[in-house]
Chains A and B, each alone.
Chain A
Amino acid sequence: MDTFIQLTVDALTLGSVYALIALGYTLVYGVLKLLNFAHGDVFMVGSFIGYGALQLLGGTSSPNVPTWALLTLITLAAMAGCAVLGVAIERFAYRPLRDAPRIAPLISALGVSFFLANSMQLLFGATPRNYDTFSLSNGALYFKGFDIGNVRVPLLRIITVCAAFALMIALWFLVNRTRTGKAMRATSFDREAAAMMGIDIDRVIVFTFVLGSALAGAAGVMFALRVPTQVSIGFIAGLKGFTAAVIGGIGSIPGAMAGGLILGFAESYTQGYISTKWSDLVVFSILIGFMIFRPQGLLGRADIRKV
């Protein structure tokens, strides 16, 4: 029972990180019908920006600001940095290819992903960067928290999960309750028709990249608060986020959240009860299962092909 609670808490943290990455995929896919392969690497860059900001603020052992401000500031720094990166990627790698055959931006995206990963490798090397959250205010983030049975749920986990859900709810409001969100939904529904109604498509697309990349940046920091970050995490995290988006139904925002959580639970329980080695296999089986039985995903709509 204790293991189960432990694993569930872990699954929630992991799942909310995956959900945040999946949201980035889903948002971009919604408006551009493009799988942004570079998204995983934007996530990785975000975790590094967070690390850099942490060092600038004095590191975890002697921070210049209170703990809550420290966590907020590094997350905001990562979100802002990733947003700029996402806009640059859209402007220079995807926009020239908007009317090209479908396969062209996908290959360009592969190139961007490879370029980002190796640039980070060039500049910062392959050594893992540890945020070392344990030394923040004498380990309060780990020792405080509440108990379920014999299991202590650390404060850090609670903060991470709550922050992730707050971001998701904010996103939901933004997309469903604001003018900009309405423009995004219209663009995603039919780009040409939206343009004819006076919506500035370029601006909507840029805004979508800002949103998606900022979420990836936040996810990067949340991931790195849990385990040390390194350059190679971009590929795997991107693949998982991508899978989560497909499972939930690509293009659907609640779907991406559900997909991320499903993936988090599947991975966490497999690692806890079966073996740490085979979690990829389980996730792949889930993906194949969805491809065969429900290709549109949990909450996605079946694609109607126009001739």
Chain B
Amino acid sequence: MSDSTPHGSQIPAEGPAVGQDEWVARHAERRLLRQGPLGQLQERLSRVPWWASLVLFVAALSLLPAVESSGYVRRVAFDTVLYMLLALGLNVVVGWGGLLDLGYVAFYGIGAYAYALLDSDKFGVHFPTIVSVPLVVVIGAVVGFLLGLPSRRLTGDYLAIVTLFFLQLFQTLMTNGDSAFGHNLTGGPNGILNVDPFHLFGHSLVVQHQGVFSVSYYYVAIAFFVLVFVALRFVNRSRTGRAWRSLREDPLAAESMGMPVNWLKLMSFSFGAATAAFTGTLFAALNASVFPLTFYFVLLITVYTMVILGGSGSQAGVVAGALIISPLLEMLRDTDKSRVIFYVALVGGVALAFRFSRLLGIVAGATLAFGFAVHEVARAFDHSWVAGEKASGFPGVTAHWVVVPAKLATWIPPTTYIGLIAATLVLTMVRGRLRLVLLVPTLYLAAFVWENVMLAKPEPARFIILGLILIALMILRPNGLLGERRVEIV
């Protein structure tokens, strides 16, 4: 950000001449990319107006309950829309403002708690929804503004620590708020129960209809999503939005052009906080309860992964990120589904790495042979080493390949897991034939660890995958799937 001082950046050999913009210099290259059938399709797609894409997307979302009647799927879809809203809000701060706000989910919590206090039996207050929701949004924006105040002079790092500490403080306050000066304000770890549902157009929204997740909240969430998406899009296209992006690229240059840098930072903070608080009301109303631990580090990392995966700075991107990560995390809870995901990812990753060349066949064949050999040897030694397998369904396919002992000795999980990490790291360092030779046992070890260690504990395993996605993305594709290409300043 601010540190792209002249000696900090390296000029690529075939890069633009000094004083020429990279975007301009690469124009002809991009034109070439758009030829061919795929390129033309991309070109066509890029000409679809944004509102048409939005309408199509929202129509697809709205039709989901019509084709899928399972309450579980509807609930997951609802959560995904909530994640989209959260990702849109975080995109304002991280993607447009370029500020690392690690207290973001605290504002989500503030929104949920504020709604819960305004509409529940806790203090016997029951504001109408049409009043309390805007009020909560204002509260979120104001708290965001106040938190930004001490950080406004500071660079990204200090902002990160203040906001992260703010998240921790929010936790402490909510958890210990049941005995603040002798009053029970927040219900402590037990949270606030019996929060009112939304009351719109003379009806109270029901969560469950005949035991199945009702669609009413789903449609309200979609309405929220459209509202936030369009509003933020207009903000981004405004003077303020342009100013944010210039602030993100180079705060010093922005300041010397006369932009009110501090004010802009605070605004981006406020917009993000308000969006999160807005989403929080929906969360509290649907669950009819709020607990402090919902709004913590895990949620923060989840939303960050969505924004980074989709591409920070692009609204469509962060929505896509939420659309991928949220169902993925949900499926990883389930042993069979996560097994399918793992093998698809493993095979797909290897296939992509070798670009379907002859080597792919060799590696795949060698890995299969290696697996069968190890399995046979293990069975010959001691039958209990392969006795932990299920023979039916998808596991049946892998049953004769991966060794699954009936009972794992305590030393096996740490050794194999750390061994797998070490082997993967070594793989990135060696080249040529050695890499191919090492790849085969590493792939097998990965399958072994997955079947024996990770599947046994889906909860940390899901989050390990999230952390890995985050690290790998930052290194391999920091602009995500649809992110704006950052214009390098030469």
Taking Cβ atoms with an 8 Å cutoff, the residues of A that contact B are 29, 33, 35, 88, 91-93, 96-97, 99-108, 110-115, 118-119, 121-124, 192, 235-236, 239, 242-243, 246, 250, 277-278, 280-281, 283-284, 287-288, 291-292, 295, 303, 305-307
Least distance between B422 CB and chain A CB atoms (Å): 8
Least distance between A100 CB and chain B CB atoms (Å): 6
Is residue B161 contacting chain A, with contact meaning CB distance below 8 A?
A: yes
In the bound complex, what is the Cα–Cα distance between A307 and B251 (angstroms)?
11
8 contacts between A and B (CB under 8 A): A107-B470, A111-B469, A119-B417, A119-B460, A121-B459, A239-B165, A280-B168, A288-B150
CB < 8 Å neighbour of A118 from B5, B428, B460: B460
**Is the CB–CB distance between A242 and B464 below 8 Å?**
no
B7 (CB) vs chain A CBs: closest residue: A192
In the bound complex, what is the Cα–Cα distance between A112 and B467 (angstroms)?
6
Least distance between B37 CB and chain A CB atoms (Å): 34
**Is the CB–CB distance between A104 and B150 below 8 Å?**
no
**Is the CB–CB distance between B168 and A236 below 8 Å?**
yes
In the bound complex, what is the Cα–Cα distance between A292 and B154 (angstroms)?
10
Least distance between A126 CB and chain B CB atoms (Å): 9
**Is the CB–CB distance between B158 and A246 below 8 Å?**
yes
Within 8 A of A (CB), among B1-23: 1-5, 7-10
Least distance between B413 CB and chain A CB atoms (Å): 6
Is residue B328 contacting chain A, with contact meaning CB distance below 8 A?
A: no
In the bound complex, what is the Cα–Cα distance between A277 and B168 (angstroms)?
13
**Is the CB–CB distance between B2 and A305 below 8 Å?**
yes
Chain A residues in 8 Å Cβ range of B10? 99
**Is the CB–CB distance between B168 and A122 below 8 Å?**
no
**Is the CB–CB distance between A103 and B464 below 8 Å?**
no
Within 8 A of A (CB), among B158-178: 158, 160-162, 164-166, 168-169, 172-173, 176
CB < 8 Å neighbour of A306 from B5, B165, B168, B308: B5
In the bound complex, what is the Cα–Cα distance between A122 and B10 (angstroms)?
41
Report the number of A-B residue pairs with Cβ-Cβ less than 8 Å: 146
A242 (CB) vs chain B CBs: closest residue: B161
Least distance between B178 CB and chain A CB atoms (Å): 10
Is residue B414 contacting chain A, with contact meaning CB distance below 8 A?
A: yes
Least distance between B483 CB and chain A CB atoms (Å): 12
Chain A residues in 8 Å Cβ range of B194? none
**Is the CB–CB distance between A235 and B297 below 8 Å?**
yes
Chain B residues in 8 Å Cβ range of A292? 150
**Is the CB–CB distance between B161 and A100 below 8 Å?**
no
Chain A residues in 8 Å Cβ range of B179? 277
**Is the CB–CB distance between B153 and A106 below 8 Å?**
no
Is residue B96 contacting chain A, with contact meaning CB distance below 8 A?
A: no
**Is the CB–CB distance between A35 and B161 below 8 Å?**
yes
In the bound complex, what is the Cα–Cα distance between A105 and B160 (angstroms)?
13
**Is the CB–CB distance between A114 and B466 below 8 Å?**
yes
Q: What range describes how many residues of B lie at the interface?
A: 35 or more
Name, among B100, B172, B470, the residue most crowded by chain A CB atoms within 10 Å (CB to CB).
B470
- A111-B470 contact, Cβ under 8 Å, with A106-B156, A295-B153, A307-B252: yes
In the bound complex, what is the Cα–Cα distance between A108 and B468 (angstroms)?
9
**Is the CB–CB distance between A114 and B470 below 8 Å?**
yes
Least distance between B6 CB and chain A CB atoms (Å): 9
Chain A residues in 8 Å Cβ range of B151? 291
**Is the CB–CB distance between B470 and A239 below 8 Å?**
no
**Is the CB–CB distance between A122 and B304 below 8 Å?**
no
Chain B residues in 8 Å Cβ range of A192? 7-8
**Is the CB–CB distance between B156 and A281 below 8 Å?**
no
**Is the CB–CB distance between A35 and B474 below 8 Å?**
no
A289 (CB) vs chain B CBs: closest residue: B150
9 additional A-B residue pairs with CB within 8 Å, beyond A118-B460, A239-B165: A101-B1, A106-B156, A106-B160, A111-B468, A113-B467, A115-B464, A121-B460, A123-B417, A236-B168
Contact with A along B173-192 (1 / 0, CB 8 A): 10010010000000000000
Is residue B385 contacting chain A, with contact meaning CB distance below 8 A?
A: no
CB < 8 Å neighbour of B425 from A88, A107, A118, A284: A88
In the bound complex, what is the Cα–Cα distance between A246 and B413 (angstroms)?
38
**Is the CB–CB distance between B2 and A102 below 8 Å?**
yes
**Is the CB–CB distance between A102 and B172 below 8 Å?**
no
In the bound complex, what is the Cα–Cα distance between A102 and B469 (angstroms)?
19
Least distance between A41 CB and chain B CB atoms (Å): 10
Least distance between A285 CB and chain B CB atoms (Å): 9
B472 (CB) vs chain A CBs: closest residue: A111
**Is the CB–CB distance between B463 and A243 below 8 Å?**
no
Chain A residues in 8 Å Cβ range of B168? 236, 239, 280, 284
Chain B residues in 8 Å Cβ range of A295? 153-154, 158
Least distance between B301 CB and chain A CB atoms (Å): 5
- A103-B1 contact, Cβ under 8 Å, with A35-B157, A277-B176, A291-B158: yes
Is residue B486 contacting chain A, with contact meaning CB distance below 8 A?
A: yes
In the bound complex, what is the Cα–Cα distance between A88 and B426 (angstroms)?
11
B94 (CB) vs chain A CBs: closest residue: A103
B162 (CB) vs chain A CBs: closest residue: A291
**Is the CB–CB distance between A99 and B464 below 8 Å?**
no
**Is the CB–CB distance between B301 and A110 below 8 Å?**
yes
